[in-house]
Chain A
Amino acid sequence: MPEKIPAKIDYIKPLEDKPYSQVLKEKKEYKERLRKKLSDIAGAGNVIDDAETLAKYSKDKSLEAPRKPTFVVFPNNTEEIQKIVKLANEERVPLIPASSGVHFYGATIPLESGIVIDLSRWKKIFKIDSRNRAVRIQPGVTYGELQPELEKNGLRALMPLLPHREKSVVSAHLEGEPMMVTEFNYSEPLYTCEIVLPRGDIFRTGSAASAPPEVSLSDLVGPWGPGFDWNRLYTRSQGTLGIITWANLMAEPLPTVQKIFFTPSRDLNTLINFTYGIQRRWLGYECFILNKANLAAILAEDGAAGYAELKKKLPSFTLIHCIAGTKRLPEEKVAWQEQDMFEEAQAQGVYPQATIPEVPHSRKFFDENMRKPWQKELYWKDVPRGASADIFFLTTLNRVPEFIKAMNEAAECFEYPVSDIGVYIQPIENGRATHLEFNLPYDPNNSAEKEMVNKLHLAASERLIDLGGVFTRAYGRWAYMVNNRNAISSKTAKTVKDFLDPNNIMNPGKLGF
């Protein structure tokens, strides 16, 4: 205790302050210093920060709020990425990997500013391995670029339903997009990959870990390990755990003979039972159900007007199912599978047809386009109104009607026309689970409508999660919804993230914590 209280208390010593002019100078210098360092690494021409570019990367086709990055960088090779990652750690600046030309779900919108690492120019197809049914590619390769090359080798890529033509194949796999072919999915068509870790080290998964591909005597197709299941950890992590530089993906034999069947029904349960039946028997390849809204969007030949007309004609739901033969005795394969399929159809009281009677060109369309990205300028989801807000998750086929009911109820609350909602049911893994997707078309230029759809999207998502929808691809708002409902999972995930990325530079905030 002091003996005497001093007259003047002078214990608050202000820190030295900088003049504001210096603050402004340092701000500019910071950005320039960062630009210089990035340019030294990747070349000045590959470091972009003009307003138009930054605006483009600040948003995407989702409803997530726009946020600008500081720079967009196009590295030329893996070493440059490593250097950028090390720089990011030093400067504590976030990195956001991107590889598609178009983005749908907000994964590449920087939440805390940062540098977008754009690999969409990385278009190498290293090796097509017909024997092992594999293809090793860089992240910028699109389905439009890959599929023709695979076809020359008697293979086809595993594809989601009519992806955007700028969609990166590697992204589609890493995002865990549901593939149309249920048999080969096994949910995990990724063999091995190379990642630049958040601390800048190179890591390769599975059997690729033993040696770089240039010298490895393995075929890079062993997907597990080493140590943990890194492929699984990295899939759907939205670039928060590292930057993929190449991936070795499954490819499958290209059908040489095929028959596509269209099974319409007003009663979804009947179609679901039929789907269970054919999936359990491992019949056919592509197999999915679309409601009239989505089918109209896909088949409409002249934009929104055509869509509206077609929607009136189409059956409530249609199952589209492809039976095909590949390498040996393809016609015989188609024949026996067709017989079995009709056996199942008869048991369920449904009638698979060679085309949709109301849409004569449907057969031709799917015959020619099933294994291609969307060809037209206006993406099919945007056909009805110009944009679409999507909600998707996993569930089981038998619960689909319950979720549709919940979605419709939510729409009614917001006076959103139920008949506009697109429904896409994609069975995966021989029908043991299903990707269920709702597409909510809206006019992006109508701010009131957009705001309404945003609220509907939020409310419906909350409801669907509470009902039991498994949002494995937890983009944006879903990440927070998911984490809020599972404290232990959130805590453990944060432990993993903090360990792998101690400076939290990799796409921070995307995991919902």
Chain B
Amino acid sequence: MIMKSLEKYKWDLVNCERCSMCKWVHPWRTQSHRFAKVCPSVSKYLFDAYSAQGRFDVIRGLLEGEIEVTDKVLEVLYACTLCGGCDVTCKFSRDMEPLEILHQIRIELVKAGKGPLPAHKAGLESIKNYDNPWQQPRTRRSNWARKVKVKDITKEKAKILYYAGCTYSYNPDVQIVAQNTLSLLLKAGLDIGILGNKEICCASPALKVGAEDVYHDFAKKNIETFNSLGVEKVITSCAGCFGIFTNHYPEIGKMNFEVVQGVQLIEKMLIEGKLDFKKKVPLTVTWHDPCHMGRGGEPQNIWDGTRTKWGLSDPPRTRNFGNKGVYDPPRNILKAIPGLKFVEMERIREYSWCCGAGGGVKSAFPEFALWSSRERVEEAKSTGADALVTACPWCELNFDEGIKADGNKIKMISLINIVTEALGE
């Protein structure tokens, strides 16, 4: 029988009360009928099976031998971006780990040879063979940095490693983000280097579809590499990479460096007076909290224990509630830009609505990914904003598609690009 490791979650599975909180933004944070839901999956597919609660029942059914792994079961378990919205709302009342369980089932399915989905295989093979999920050659990885004069950290020491990530490296639509970020940091006088073509995937896409072995390999390699470089900080612009470094890598090995999201550093520079915004940016903008930078961007609390009486954890477990993510830095940056008007959407911070691209959904369920993106774009439009701003390549690309699909006038802008514009560059 598969899923031995899920036995340790039996308490969670059995004690789920079907309260349905996992489907909704917390009531105290709900501001309208329209934007009250937090789970894209059940909001789109409607049947309870597509919610955390429903998936618990499916997993329980598998554990108890009531049902078997079928294509539909795989669809139900994989049509989820692993955004963690359910995890946040559940934990308000319960001592449970929905996100961990939704993740763990995928790992078990892959171990049992049932997963991931066929649509994921190409990306997974690409990671294994080319160190990136985009089936692009390693030799082109650093092309984005051709015009930037920066240290090759494999040859010359630096205090800070700028980690571009696969998407910012390879996708021409968003390479500008890495370029602008690196340029800004260099101009600020930071001692930065990049790995260039030696940079390899953070392996978050592998982990999200359950390919734990692949993930372990890459994570181990990355930690060893970063440690060996002796850097103080690893900066990344990609929320996905940031999330995996912060939330999962500590399980793999000791990290002798600090992980920093690009926006955190930019905010620091702002506070220290190192940013001179010369140009007004006359836009009304709203900020989208990427899942893996927000609720998924909290440092992980590693725990390996058991449940005892009354559901107590032994040893006691510290849980992630999603409230320690990177929320304020981007807001502070945007509010400091002259001429810019900042407005909030309703579902923000730990209740942010997922763009729809994560968790392998983009490749396996493109219509779902598009649907989720369009839903968020509607929410952005409802604020009256001219632009939706974020700092994650998956979000940016998916929102672009969502905007175009409905012929919307609202723009998708990466935060660094607005900062660059405000700096007059």
The reply, when asked whether chain A contacts chain B directly with Cβ atoms under 8 A, is no
Q: Which residues of A contact B (CB under 8 A)?
A: none
Q: Which residues of B contact A (CB under 8 A)?
A: none
